[in-house]
Every structure is written in C-alpha cells, then in structure tokens.
C-alpha cells in the first residue's frame, strides 16, 4: 500500500517505499509497513517482524520445531450449531503457493476459549503430485482428526477420531498452486460443551524433508 508524503517541502503521491543515502555509502530502503496483516499470534515465538503501524514486534505463536510455515489466516466470524451432522458454514479458506509443501495442517480455534466450548479442531491434508513433485495435483484429508474442547470446569479434553467435530475443512480442491478449503461445522453431543463462538482458521504448510530432519 502506497502513502502520500512530503519530503523537503515537496509532496509525492502513492509512494510505496523511500530510499535514502547512508553516511557510509549506499542507500537504506524504508517500506510502508501498513501492508502487514500478521499479528504477533500469527508469527513464530521469538521471530521479529514489522507490525502494520511500523513498530518492531516479536511473534508469540508456538510451533512444532519451526518447520511449519503459516500460509493463511481467516477470521470466520460467529459460528454455532447443535446439529450432530455436518453443516456447511458458507465460509471458504483459500491458500496460495502450496506447491512446495507436502502437507497442510488446518487449525480452527475459537477466539475466546471460554469454558464449555469446542476450542480447536486440527486436520492434516496430504498433498500429492504426479510427474512433477513441485506441482501438487491431489489432496487427501487424513482419517484421524484432533478435536479439543474445554470442559465446564476449565480442563481440556482431546479426542482423535475419523469424524471431525467443531469447525473444520470438509474437503480440499487444488488449482494452479492454490488450495480451496470449504469450512464445515458439527456438534458432538456425546461430549460436554457447545459449538458457539467466533472462530479463526490458520493453515500451515509442511515439507516432509524438514519434518523428518533429512
């Protein structure tokens, strides 16, 4: 995003960056940070980035060994249901530049982890290729899903099952390096808790080579 600026009395419109001469030679480039969409919770813990207001910010997100890359974040808004069968939320998450990854981890969590809610659902999507390993042509959702809930007394319970509960991707379609994930919802009446709150989906990309430490 470009800005309108005034420099030494002259006005300039739609300036995306400024390059200034350095004392020891060369130039220093200063870019408009307002294009930043990441928050501290989206960036790995300890990693430094520029927030949208230009301030130097340190990430707070925890990760699994640092091999996952955050590819997409989408706020889904308010979602609730008491239906035990799968329902389409009408929301779709689009993830670009997935060709270099072998797996996607789709994590959808409630924004405020109040007691008695489905707090998080994690689903693995395995990406496959045909003749070119860097051109993904197929996607399979793993049979095991992780469903975490916060019970009425504040403790957490996690369940792995072949059926997804909470808020989760129901399928994955690929086109020109972009994955499209329709988001569904399902209530599990056999566990304590409700599906009711504002949810956010985050998609992480993983490379098998990095995962096995080759």
Q: Is the pLDDT of residue 188 over 90?
A: no
The answer to whether the CB of 139 falls within 8 A of the CB of 125 is yes
Look at residue 146 and tell me if it is in a domain.
Answer: yes
Instruction: Flag whether pLDDT at 29 surpasses 90.
Output: no
Statement to judge: residues 106 and 30 lie in one domain: no
Q: Output the pLDDT for position 45.
A: 65
Q: Is 90 found in the same domain as 144?
A: yes
Based on the fold, state whether residues 101 and 39 are members of the same structural domain: no
pLDDT tens-digit readout, 44-91: 666 787 888 888 888 776 554 456 889 999 999 999 999 999 999 999
Segment 7-22 shows an average pLDDT of: 80
Domain that holds residue 70: 63-212
Is there a single domain that holds both residue 20 and residue 121?
A: no
Same domain, 41 and 53: yes
pLDDT of residue 139: 94
Do 126 and 78 share a structural domain?
A: yes
Please tell me the predicted confidence (pLDDT) of residue 64.
47
Point out the least confidently predicted range of 103-107, 116-120, 142-146. 116-120
CA distance 172 to 183: 10
What's the whole-number mean pLDDT along residues 137-142? 93
What integer pLDDT is reported at residue 96 of this predicted model? 93
Q: Flag whether 71 is in a domain.
A: yes
Regarding whether 41 and 126 lie in a shared domain, the answer is no
Mean pLDDT computed over 36-45 = 74
Flag whether 1 is in a domain.
no
Of residues 143 and 17, the one with the higher pLDDT is 143
- Among 7-11, 96-100, 184-188, which stretch is predicted with the lowest mean pLDDT? 7-11
Do 170 and 101 lie in one domain? The reply is: yes
Same domain, 194 and 153: yes
Does some domain include residue 125? yes
Total domain count for the chain?
2
Is residue 172 domain-resident?
yes
Are both 84 and 157 inside the same structural domain? yes
* Global pTM value: 0.68
Residue positions counted in the chain: 214
Q: Write down the pLDDT at residue 103.
A: 94
Please state, rounded to an integer, the average pLDDT across all residues of the chain.
85
Residues 23 and 85 in one domain: no
199 lies in some domain: yes
Closest to 72 (Cα-Cα) out of 198, 185, 178, 208:
178
Spatial distance between the Cα atoms of 108 and 113, rounded to a whole number of angstroms: 12
How far is Cα 31 from Cα 48, in angstroms, rounded to an integer?
16
90-to-59, 96, 184 alpha-carbon distances in Å: 31, 20, 8
- Cα(56)–Cα(62) distance, integer angstroms: 19
Shared domain for 121 and 190, answered yes or no, is: yes
> Which residues have C-beta within 8 Å of that of residue 212, sequence separation ≥ 6?
none
Q: What does the H/E/C string look like for the chain?
A: CCEEEEECCEEEEEECEEEEECCCCCEEEEECHHHCCCCHHHCECCCEEECCCCCEEECCECCCCCCCEEEEEEEEEEEEECCCCCEEEEEEEEECCCCCCCEEEEEEEECCCCCCEEEEEEEEEEEEECCCCCCEEEEEECCCEEEEEECCCCCEEEEEECCCCEEEECCCEEECCEEEEEEEEECCCCCCCEEEEEEEEEEEEECHHHHHCC
pLDDT at site 160? 83
**Virtual torsion, Cα 126, 198, 112, 146, nearest 10 deg:** -30
In a domain, 2, yes or no: no
Q: Which of 174, 164, 36 is nearest to 94 (CA)?
A: 174
Cα separation, 92 vs 173, in Å, equals 11
What does the pLDDT average to over 186-196? Answer: 82
Position with higher pLDDT, 128 vs 16: 128
């Amino acid at each position: 995003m470009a800005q309108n600026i005034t420099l030494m009395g002259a006005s300039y419109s739609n300036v995306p960056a400024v390059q200034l001469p350095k004392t020891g030679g060369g130039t220093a480039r200063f870019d408009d940070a307002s294009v930043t969409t990441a928050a501290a919770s989206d960036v790995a813990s300890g990693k430094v980035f520029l927030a949208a207001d230009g301030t130097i910010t340190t990430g707070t997100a925890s990760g699994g060994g640092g091999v996952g890359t955050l590819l997409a974040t989408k706020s889904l808004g308010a979602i609730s249901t008491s239906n035990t069968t799968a329902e389409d939320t009408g929301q779709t998450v689009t993830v670009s530049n997935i060709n270099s990854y072998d797996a996607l981890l789709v994590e959808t969590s409630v924004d405020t982890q109040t007691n008695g809610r489905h707090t998080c659902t994690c689903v693995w999507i395995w990406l496959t290729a045909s003749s070119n390993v860097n051109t993904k042509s197929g996607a399979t959702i793993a049979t095991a899903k992780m469903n975490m809930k916060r019970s009425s007394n504040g403790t957490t319970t996690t369940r792995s099952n072949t059926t997804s509960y909470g808020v989760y991707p129901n399928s994955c379609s690929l086109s020109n390096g972009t994955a499209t994930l329709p988001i569904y919802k399902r209530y599990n009446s056999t566990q304590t808790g409700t599906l009711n709150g504002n949810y956010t989906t985050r998609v992480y990309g993983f490379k098998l080579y990095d995962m096995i430490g080759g």
